[in-house]
Amino acid sequence: MLHCAIVGTGDMAYGLAHLYSNNNKFMLNTLEVTKPGLEMKEKRTFHDTGVSLGSFKEAIDRADIVILAIPAEALKGFVANYFQFLRSKILVDVTNSSVRGEDLSSMCRLTEVEWVKAFNDIGAVDILLNKPYSKTRVATTMCSPHKKALGLVQYFAEESFGMTVKNVPPERYNDIAMHQNSLGQEWIHAAWVMMILFAICEFYAILRYNVFKGYAWFHLPIQVSNKGICWTALNGFAWAQLPGLVARMFNVSHSDSLSDKPRWLLWSLSIRKHVGILSLWFLFIHILMSLLLLNPAYYGKFYLHPKANTSKMNSIGEASFFFAILGTGFYVILGICSLPSVGSHMTNKQWQLVYGPLAWVALAYGTIHVMVMGVKGWDDQEKWPGGLPPITLTSVLVPLLVMWLKLVQVLVTVMKRSMHTEKPHQNSYDMIAFAYQGDEETTPFHDEEKSMLPLKRGSDTESPTQREVVW
């Protein structure tokens, strides 16, 4: 029977003890909580968990596994001071230090001490919210070069804490050790992409409206910036769908499925979800600003009587906002489906529908929304301030290009499929090479693990007929 001791009495220790009280299915007294200097003369439990508090030296002596739930900066001193008690135990490091060297991997590298990195990817608040009747298990990752020790810690976590454990190869240790101290490379890159895009759009809006058209500068924060934000949102959605489209075109042009995709394409595939979510944020900011400005004084072209205090909308206003509302509704659906609690329960067919036709219809409706409100002024170049085209024109160029490329890709796919239908005895591998394999490549939203590779959603074990769809 494995016995475990948690060193530390903070939130992480409390959370693990809470999990133990909820999920220890054999009702065995195999866990203790202790800390240096603790001497127990009478039996006590740790908070409301029912887990026993034990004297430090006695608890360590009884334990096979010692979970070090102490601050990272105190880890080195603790191990050095109590090494004689710890050297024969399996030590579990739960710290998330941003300083390299403040972990058991560095401290025990030249010793025979067996250590496991575990539980550092779960928060104390999350596990304290776990209920005995919860249908989902707390998930964690573990890593260790000591295979036997890793197996024992995993067994204890699954049987006593009720966790789901994923083992990570020792070669990937740094990825999980430093992950919790990073904002995430994908988020950082996506944020830079969107900030650069917004800076370009905002600069153009300022140049056209404040500098050349003569708008007062006090209109910059909302009236002028709203135009740049709208442009950013629409183009962000288009850019989010572009990597998947390019990946499919790459598959069409490379019949060898072993061909490596360019690094820039893999990079863009990895951040498309994040770009999509940030674009959704820009969309909501645009909606809030537009609601503040929605009156004849600001948007006279939307109303039958622009000079009246109150007026009904004309055909331009009604049509433009009709497509705006529908497009926003579709993007809300995409955003909701990006939540792990929702996306993990979607079937492949549902996934293809939401991030296939629905995503493209949302982009089309957003583009039509902008075009309807400004298409009449596109050919009146003499009235363009500073010779700069209206934003209703410049903002739809990228979405229109992306949708045109999508149309070409669909037509090529259909043509290739019809050609192979006429030649049923031709090598079926060619058909697979030209077929579109799952529409997860289009989505700007999904959990990070499934957004890294263009063919992640479709399993390699699926048959070609299951994965060949136009969208």
Better-predicted residue by pLDDT, 418 or 228? 228
pLDDT at 307 over 90: no
Please check whether residue 299 is in contact with residue 281, taking contact to mean a CB–CB distance below 8 angstroms: no
Residues of the chain with CATH 3.40.50.720: 4-179
Q: What is the 3-state secondary structure (H, E, C) of 64-78?
A: CEEEECCCHHHHHHH
To which residue do tokens 């990195």 refer? 117
Residue 440: pLDDT over 80: no
pTM of the shown model = 0.78
182: three-class secondary structure by DSSP: coil
At residue 5, what are phi and psi to the nearest 5 degrees? -125, 135
Residue 77 has pLDDT above 80, yes or no: yes
> In angstroms, what CA-CA distances link 138 with 135, 150, 309?
10, 18, 57
Q: What is the DSSP annotation of 332-395?
A: HHHHHHTSHHHHTT--HHHHHHIIIIIHHHHHHHHHHHHHHHHGGGTT-GGGSGGGPPPHHHHH
Distance CA(399)–CA(66), nearest Å, equals 56
Stretch 89-97: mean pLDDT, rounded?
Answer: 92
What is residue 205's predicted lDDT score, i.e. its pLDDT?
A: 98
Give the residue from 249, 279, 271, 301 showing the smallest Cα distance to 362.
279
pLDDT band per the 50, 70, 90 thresholds, residue 16? very high
Q: Residue 155 — very low, low, confident or very high, per pLDDT cuts 50/70/90?
A: very high
Q: How confident is the model at residue 26 (pLDDT cuts 50, 70, 90)?
A: low
Token pair, residue 341, equals: 């609690």
What is the predicted pLDDT for the residue at 256?
Answer: 62
Query: Cα 139–145–150 angle (5° rounding)?
Result: 45
Amino acid at residue number 78: F
pLDDT digits (tens, 9 = 90+) for 162-180: 999 999 999 988 888 877 7
Instruction: Evaluate if residue 420 carries a pLDDT over 80.
Output: no
DSSP secondary structure, 96-157, as one string: --SSTT-SHHHHTTTS--EEEEESTTS-HHHHHT--TT-SSPPEEEEE-S-HHHHHHHHHHH
The values of phi and psi at residue 262, to 5°, are -55, 150
Which H/E stretch holds residue 53?
strand 52-53
Would you state the pLDDT for residue 27?
Answer: 63
Q: Report residue 312's pLDDT band, with 50, 70 and 90 as the boundaries.
A: very high
Mean pLDDT, range 291-297, rounded to an integer: 94
pLDDT band of 257, cuts 50, 70, 90 = low
Mention every residue, 6+ apart, whose C-beta is less than 8 A from residue 297. Answer: none
Confidence band of 370 (pLDDT split at 50, 70, 90): very high
The end-to-end CA distance of the chain, in Å, is 54
The pLDDT tens digits for 36-65 are 999 888 889 999 999 999 999 999 999 999
Cβ-contact 67, 79 below 8 angstroms: no
For residue range 192-227, what is the model confidence (pLDDT) as tens digits? Answer: 999 999 999 999 999 999 999 999 999 999 999 999
Mean of per-residue pLDDT scores for the chain:
86
Cα–Cα distance, 256 to 145 (Å, whole number): 37
More confident residue, 184 or 110: 184
Tokens standing for residue 313 = 């909308």
CATH class of 4-179: alpha beta
